[in-house]
Amino acid sequence: MLRRRSLLSAPPALAAVLASSNAQAQQNYPNRPIRLLIGFAPSGSTDIVARVMSGKLQSLLGQSIVVENRPGAGGNIATELVSRATPDGYVLLLGTIGALAINPTLYRDLSFDPLRDLTPISRIGTVLNVLAVPADRPWRSVAELIAAAKARPDTLTCASSGVGGAGHIANEQMNTLAGIRTVHVPYRGGGALLADLVSGKVDYAFTTALNAVPQAQDGKLRILAVPDAQRSRLLPEVPTMAESGLPGFEMVDWIAMMGPRNLPAPIVRTLSEAVRVTLTDPELVAQLADRRVEAQPSSPEELTRFLRDETAKWAPIVRASGSTPD
């Protein structure tokens, strides 16, 4: 699709033809497969959500949804690719709190600004995270984990699925509030993280309930807390970090669908409505809940406000943590 500047610089007659052609293309959208980029490796929560949703979205849109994993730099690689894509609706992003709200503060040299260079389409939902430790570790509460970290500064290792992700920033919050120092070990996705956490190669992690709960049920992990402000209805027996002695602790991990900047309004409406229908389908909502994901579709306008609020909320926390993308 031609950009607006091309239309404005064309002769009047040609501009009218091109504008009509653009309108027709938008009206016929979509007429070929849609690429949905994920900033993390396969088997992570965002990847699984994308694949759970893709079948319903395909039936609604009448075109294939091709899920592409572009891991690296805390989701920045996939986000940058979408920010530079042609705004025709055929390259989209499932982004997370890390890439869309935390990384703009964490990384000083980003070539894109999510608020400026992406078009909000819809929220997807929240991903329940947990604080988990290997079953062979002695800690049975957050207080015991903190006591161990205080006894051995700069020794305990915390795994995360990437720099700037929810798990990383949750650990920085715990370090700050508890007055401890631990070692951050970033991975490129949840699969490798889970393997090393279960085997005891790392001491603990703020990771997805999707990955941690089955391992806990098998006796390989121990779940100590959830980082949300309130107990989750998806895991009601597990206390919050605030209940565990760290008042004010909160880290809600979320996923949203975004497109390139200047994505035409008709295409945004088409995609937003398809997401809404998908995420209100009882069967699909139940599938996501089984994976500890709570469906929360939104309008593009609601997502725009949400992104601004989240970016403003986390900027001072990231700065205060002193975290760097090393």
Residue 6 above 80 pLDDT? no
Q: Which residues of 12-30 are buried (b: 16+ CB within 10 A; e: fewer)?
A: eeeeeeeeeebeebbeebb
Question: Between vectors from CA 42 to CA 41 and to CA 48, what angle results, nearest 5°?
Answer: 125
Say yes or no: 135 and 214 in one domain.
yes
Parent domain of 159: 129-225
pTM for the whole structure: 0.84
Enclosing H/E stretch for 129: strand 129-134
Beta-strand pair 221-225/129-134: antiparallel
Say yes or no: 168 and 311 in one domain.
no
Say yes or no: 144 and 287 in one domain.
no
Say yes or no: 143 and 288 in one domain.
no
Residue 225 above 90 pLDDT? yes
- 234-256 per-position pLDDT tens digit: 899 999 999 999 999 999 999 99
CB 129 within 8 A of CB 238: no
15 is a domain residue: yes
pLDDT at residue 178, as a whole number: 96
Distance CA 44, CA 51 (A): 11
Q: What is the CATH classification number for the domain harbouring 142?
A: 3.40.190.10
Residue 70 above 70 pLDDT? yes
Distance CA 305, CA 309 (A): 6
- 41-60 per-position pLDDT tens digit: 888 889 999 999 999 999 99
Question: Between vectors from CA 252 to CA 308 and to CA 74, what angle results, nearest 5°?
Answer: 75
| Span 264-283, average pLDDT | 98
User: Any bridge partners for residue 256, and if so which?
Assistant: 95, 123
137 is a domain residue: yes
Residue among 251, 196, 245, 194 nearest 226 (CA): 251
pLDDT-derived band at 21 (thresholds 50, 70, 90) equals very low
Say yes or no: 317 and 181 in one domain.
no
235 is a domain residue: no
